[in-house]
A and B are shown apart, each in its own frame.
Chain A
Amino acid sequence: MKFLDTPSSPHVHPAGGVTQVMLRVIYALIPGLIAYVYFFGWGVAINIVIAAVVSLGAEAIMLALRRRPLRPFLTDASALVTAMLLGASLPPLAPWWLVTVAALFAIVVAKHLYGGLGYNPFNPAMVGYAVVLISFPREMTAWLPPHVPDVTTLGFVDTLRYSILGHLPKGLNFDAVTMATPLDAMKTQLGMDKTVSEIVAGSPVFGSLAGKGWEWVNGLYLLGGLWLIQRRVITWHIPAGMLGSLFVLALVFYLGDPDAHGSPLFELFSGAAMLGAFFIATDPVSAATTPRGRLYYGAGIGALTFVIRTWGGYPDGVAFAVLLMNMAAPTIDYYTQPRVFGHGKD
């Protein structure tokens, strides 16, 4: 009996692979997204569908141009994850072309021009997000309020029509349906020398912990993220580092002057904090990979997020914080190598 093919050890592997990793990320996102739709309408779902179609199309075209096999890379679901993160990050009342530009930039430039899956130094979804945030500031303010008095809530058809055709139902204008996010409202009004308690009392977007609706969305992202840790899709280091440093910084400033700063929990449950901590910063390709390095990397994102939120030009800072720390990841990895077995304890 002869064997021509003699594969190398190990000869056993568990089931699963890159596709399973990506699919689990998608599953973990779903509860948060359901809450998002519940509180803020169908916009986010429409965004995700548009982003998914564009991403997969762009992925296929780029793979063909780069003469790479289509099947394994289209079915790895990584483009789908990018699309979902992008859809979840963009304002719910975004026009279709905004989503398209962001998704195209994410897949074509941030992913494939750098070499495709596994080779991108920057988080593709955040690159796409940052590009449209800088290029189309007005459209990027199209945030919707949760169901609150005095503001019309758009139904599915109206939202879809706005996305595709760019006009609202008769009698409604843009400002009548959109509203600043809690982070934005807080930032703007703090700039007008109002105290935190005045701001919270004066606006219907605030809930008991953070923004109304937002606290639920963030809470469910947190749950999804914990499931990802339990399933070993991500490790605890990056979320702990990011949320930890965000919390500590917020706490320090909050204790210093509670009237001029949101509470630490407000920071954690607002904006993209949880989405960023569990789903975006943990993108393994662009993050640090050593255990200690991941802790520092996460802490850096948390700190930068706080800095941008508090003193920067944007109400939220997760995207820029992630991109800045992406640049630092290789250096962090280099300086945080674990002690190898038998190499003297220092």
Chain B
Amino acid sequence: MSRKLWHFHGGLRLAGHKDESMREGVLPTRLPSHLILPLQQHIGEPAEPVVGVGDHVLKGEVIARAHGYVSAPVHATSSGTVVAIEERPVAHPSGLSAPCIVIETDGREKWRHRDSRITDYTALDPSELRNRIREAGVVGLGGAGFPAFIKLNPGTARVRTLILNGAECEPYITCDAVLMQERPREIVEGLLIMRHALRAETCLIGIEDNKPHAIEALRDTLAEYDAEGVEVVAVPTRYPAGGEKQLIKVLTGEEVPSHGLPLHVGIVCHNVGTAAAVYRAIAVGEPLVSRIVTVTGRGISHPRNLEVLIGTPIADLLAECGETRGDLDRLIMGGPMMGFALHTDETPVVKTTNCILAATHEDVVPDQPALPCIRCGECTRVCPVSLLPQQLYWHARAKDFDKVQDYNLFDCIECGCCAYVCPSHLPLVQYYRFAKTEIWAKEREKERADIARRRHEFRLARLEREKAEREARHRQKREALAKDKNKGKGADQAADESKKAAIKEAMERAKAKRADAGVTPKNTENLSDEQRRQIAEADARRKATKAPAEASAEDSAGEANNKESE
């Protein structure tokens, strides 16, 4: 089939190292004794636990529910007992810990009752499909982990093309390749369900041409279906052809606008693994409890692809792959170009884990000392986004965060091409990540400061208003009193007089007392911080009781903002 293809700027031809892990098919993994399930395995809000320590859970049971719109539930991936809900090391470049639910498995693999299988998805409304997919905890399995149901909700936009990403351009990783080879039916079924949910006109499955078996398997399967407008397209093997924006460009010639979504050009892109998960969620009624993970590298004696329960510790995976070599240099989650080195093998497999690269010095190079940039421009040549990586580097190094943004730092996809070719061995991507993090932190700080300033201004305005109101009340009272006085002058005069004298006496006493104690009359100008804080708290309490409607309106506006920034 000859279909017009486009190309993206730069990119690299890399040694694939894919054969090593593709000698066998997908193998099952032994049930681990413990499953560690992070509450956040997706982009968005972490899920909220709905089980407690000591609870017995069944396979497929929801143990943490989605919190907010951009979120996904977490399911027990085997039956057993919840033994802890605590911070555990998770798959994150920083090596930080995050809340996880730990299940001690009981070895029975007992399922909760499954959802009904839906044989005719076309009878269902797309929103019903999306709900099912959401409840099944399906997120993008290609690496980003964005909740899949959101990307199946085009709103009012028209989706011209649904693209399935089977490019898998990073070296070593083969989990998508074996999935396409062994379970093409699941992918095609999932694709058709997605197409229905999106009401997409055409579908393209983009696969790098170094995977002829996968291409063949999918083409054969498609031939069995009466699926019009679905095409498997072989794209040239060139890293990072599997980047969403790059693949869209290659297949359609469209460029997703900077800071925009594929939907803005009428395209939605999902990973092939996500399609298979959607199929299982709808047609089998199974939530996302397992995925295929490539375990490879020279650090283990038997590189292979494993069907792994989400939450399985990496150590258990390595144990399935023969001997682990003593000179293991690092464990990389993901590929050698974009993956990150793990701090410990206790880290669990999460929904987005596609590969564990047990790398020795033959796989990866040790860090070489960096030399100064010689401005050779090789990075500019290979950048798939046409950035000027060395200018970004200079400005990031100088912490000139305005300048890095002028040079479009946020268009950087961190593919690593620039750092790969850099003859000075500069850790360029690290500089960009650093600059991005700093800018985000600054923005958050500014936001907080803005909120504080607005609050302060609001408070001042309120105090002013209250003062004015008080004065008005006093005036009214005085006027009323004056009227009264005029009315009952004669009768009340004596009483009034004695009252006045009493008040005067009392005031004098109080004054004397204050003078003795050395207490200055209360004024609002020399308050200690503690006093101010107390006043502010009191104000806040008052405000909360006074205008609950107003406050909650503000809160929800804040939430909406948060959502947008994600």
A101 to chain B, nearest CB (A): 26
Question: Interface size on A (CB < 8 Å)?
Answer: 44
Q: In the assembly, what is the distance between CA of A73 and CA of B370, in Å?
A: 11
Task: Name the segment of B50-58, B140-148, B300-308, B330-338 touching the other chain.
Answer: B330-338
Assess whether A12 is in contact with B365, with CB atoms less than 8 Å apart: yes
Assess whether A342 is in contact with B374, with CB atoms less than 8 Å apart: no
One of A8, A14, A340 near B340 (C-beta < 8 A): A8
Q: Does A186 contact B (CB under 8 A)?
A: no
Chain B stretch 322-344: residues in CB contact (< 8 A) with chain A? 328, 330-332, 334, 336-344
One of B344, B369, B427 near A1 (C-beta < 8 A): B344
One of B260, B344, B380, B407 near A3 (C-beta < 8 A): B344
Q: Does B32 contact A (CB under 8 A)?
A: no
B357 partner residues in chain A, CB cutoff 8 A: 11
A8, A284, A289 — most chain B CB neighbours (10 Å): A8
B171 partner residues in chain A, CB cutoff 8 A: 12
One of A72, A118, A341 near B374 (C-beta < 8 A): A118
One of A7, A17, A341 near B423 (C-beta < 8 A): A17
Assess whether B425 is in contact with A8, with CB atoms less than 8 Å apart: no
Q: Does A171 contact B (CB under 8 A)?
A: no
Q: Interface digits, A308-346 against B, CB 8 Å rule (1 contact, 0 not)?
A: 000000000000000000000000010001111111100
Q: Does B420 contact A (CB under 8 A)?
A: yes
Q: Interface digits, B349-385 against A, CB 8 Å rule (1 contact, 0 not)?
A: 0000000010100011101110111111110110011
Q: Does A184 contact B (CB under 8 A)?
A: no
A111 to chain B, nearest CB (A): 12
Assess whether B384 is in contact with A9, with CB atoms less than 8 Å apart: no
One of B328, B371, B411 near A118 (C-beta < 8 A): B371
Task: Determine chain B's interface SS by DSSP, over half rule.
Answer: loop
Assess whether A338 is in contact with B386, with CB atoms less than 8 Å apart: yes
Assess whether A338 is in contact with B364, with CB atoms less than 8 Å apart: no
Nearest A residue to B384 by beta-carbon distance? A341
Q: Does A21 contact B (CB under 8 A)?
A: yes
- Knowing A9-B339, A10-B338, say if A291 contacts B380 (CB, 8 Å): yes
Q: Does A232 contact B (CB under 8 A)?
A: yes
B28 to chain A, nearest CB (A): 23
Q: In the assembly, what is the distance between CA of A118 and CA of B384, in Å?
A: 25
- Knowing A235-B377, A285-B374, A289-B375, say if A341 contacts B365 (CB, 8 Å): no
Assess whether B375 is in contact with A11, with CB atoms less than 8 Å apart: no
Q: Interface digits, A290-315 against B, CB 8 Å rule (1 contact, 0 not)?
A: 11001000000000000000000000
A343 partner residues in chain B, CB cutoff 8 A: 257-258, 408, 411
B336 partner residues in chain A, CB cutoff 8 A: 9-12
Q: Interface digits, A105-120 against B, CB 8 Å rule (1 contact, 0 not)?
A: 0000000000011110
Nearest A residue to B376 by beta-carbon distance? A284
Q: In the assembly, what is the distance between CA of A333 and CA of B330, in Å?
A: 39
Assess whether A284 is in contact with B344, with CB atoms less than 8 Å apart: no
Q: Does A67 contact B (CB under 8 A)?
A: no
9 smallest A-B Cβ distances: which pairs? Answer: A118-B372, A10-B416, A6-B341, A342-B258, A11-B364, A341-B385, A284-B376, A1-B345, A8-B430
User: Can you add 16 more A-B contacts, CB < 8 Å, to A11-B337, A338-B388?
Assistant: A6-B95, A8-B341, A9-B332, A9-B334, A9-B338, A11-B339, A13-B422, A17-B371, A117-B372, A232-B378, A285-B374, A340-B385, A341-B249, A341-B385, A341-B411, A342-B411
Q: Can you sample 16 A-B contacts with CB below 8 Å?
A: A3-B331, A3-B343, A9-B338, A9-B414, A11-B339, A13-B422, A18-B423, A72-B369, A73-B371, A116-B372, A117-B372, A118-B371, A284-B377, A290-B380, A333-B391, A337-B407
